[in-house]
Amino acid sequence: MSRLMARPRVPHDDPEMPMPHTFRRLRLLAAMLSIVLVALLVTPAHAAGCSPPTFVTSAPDGMWSNGGYFVHNYMWNASGYRVDQTLRACSYRQWSVTATADNAAQDGAVKTYPSAHKDFHNWTTGWEPRLSTFTSIRSRFSARSPGVGIYNVAYDIWLNGVPGQHEVMIWTDNYRQVPAGTLVAQGLRFNDRTWKVFATPGNGTVTFLPDARLTQGTLDIKARLDWLVRRGMLPATATLGQICFGVEIVSTGGRPAAFYFDDFSVGVGRT
């Protein structure tokens, strides 16, 4: 709540009237409490992000390994555009990114995807576990976005390589962004929400879009991937390469905007 109400006038507001010492102290205390309450109402929890950060980078491919995950300042398509981006992380669970980008080219191109990710791909041998060997894949998340420009906060799941033959996205929040491809299904129920599914030709990219934004929760990723296999949109022999959670940034309106990630983890069951 950002609206502030005018303070009513009380008798001792008159500077010409003497104010008893005790009453003056009570008024000072009340004023201090009011400031604290306003700050709590106006400012969301952890609004400044983690402090102090353990890892800070503005490098286009800056990456940090932490706790079996990676935090990645992935500016994969920033070349040729005016983009600035700085990532600050305390852990793979808690990090933030401040970016400046615009859509001056009017092409709607995603410039960056800062994210945290869990890798199943063996970067030495190229081996990946088959999707069919997982009994469960669930992920916790929590994120806050500024509501400016054009972006989507989303999971990006790579199968059959990283980048791979298949990309499955699960959007949790988006602002003025539209999934790639065409609508292929709607009215699906996952996590007590209704979802639509979009797909590009050949199902190279599949996107799950919720009926309303999600700022936190636990997603059943395996249920969505199993649905795609049953429908023939993923091969039964698919392998799992990587699960990412971050934000695809098209624009921040040309001004700095901050995105906060307060929780992320992946839990799996295997046969």
Q: What is the pLDDT of residue 3?
A: 31
Same domain, 25 and 129: no
Same domain, 20 and 106: no
Q: Is residue 231 part of a domain?
A: yes
Same domain, 217 and 244: yes
Q: What percent of the chain has pLDDT over 90?
A: 80
Same domain, 226 and 124: yes
Same domain, 24 and 101: no
Q: What is the pLDDT of residue 48?
A: 57
Q: Is residue 27 part of a domain?
A: yes
Name residue, tokens 């706790």: 67
For position 84, which CATH number holds? 2.60.120.180
- pLDDT class of 34 with cuts at 50, 70, 90: very low
Same domain, 23 and 100: no
Same domain, 17 and 139: no
Q: Is residue 35 part of a domain?
A: yes
Q: What is the pLDDT of residue 67?
A: 97
Q: Is residue 47 part of a domain?
A: no
Check: pTM over 0.85? Answer yes or no.
Answer: no
The total of other beta-carbon atoms located within 10 Å of residue 171's CB is: 22
Using alpha carbons, select from 131, 132, 84, 144 the residue that is nearest to residue 264: 144
Using alpha carbons, select from 247, 171, 239 the residue that is nearest to residue 209: 171
The domain containing residue 119 runs over which residues? 55-270
- pLDDT class of 41 with cuts at 50, 70, 90: very low
Read off the pLDDT of residues 209-236 as tens digits, 9 standing for 90 and up. 999 999 999 999 999 999 999 999 999 9
Same domain, 24 and 124: no
Q: Is residue 74 part of a domain?
A: yes
The secondary element (H helix, E strand) that includes residue 28 is helix 21-42
Same domain, 90 and 193: yes
**Range in 7-21, 105-119, 131-145, 194-208 the model is least confident about:** 7-21
Same domain, 27 and 149: no
Q: Is the pLDDT of residue 27 over 90?
A: no
Same domain, 60 and 114: yes
Q: What is the pLDDT of residue 240?
A: 98
Domain count, the chain: 2
248 token code pair: 């695809």
Read off the pLDDT of residues 121-151 as tens digits, 9 standing for 90 and up. 999 999 999 999 999 999 999 999 999 999 9
Same domain, 111 and 16: no
Q: What is the pLDDT of residue 7?
A: 31
Q: What is the pLDDT of residue 19?
A: 43
Query: Using CA atoms, how far apart are residues 37 and 32, in angstroms rounded to an integer?
Result: 9
Q: What is the pLDDT of residue 50?
A: 84
Read off the pLDDT of residues 50-73 as tens digits, 9 standing for 90 and up. 889 999 999 999 999 999 999 999
The secondary element (H helix, E strand) that includes residue 143 is strand 134-144
Q: Is the pLDDT of residue 188 over 90?
A: yes
Question: Mean pLDDT of all residues in the chain?
Answer: 87
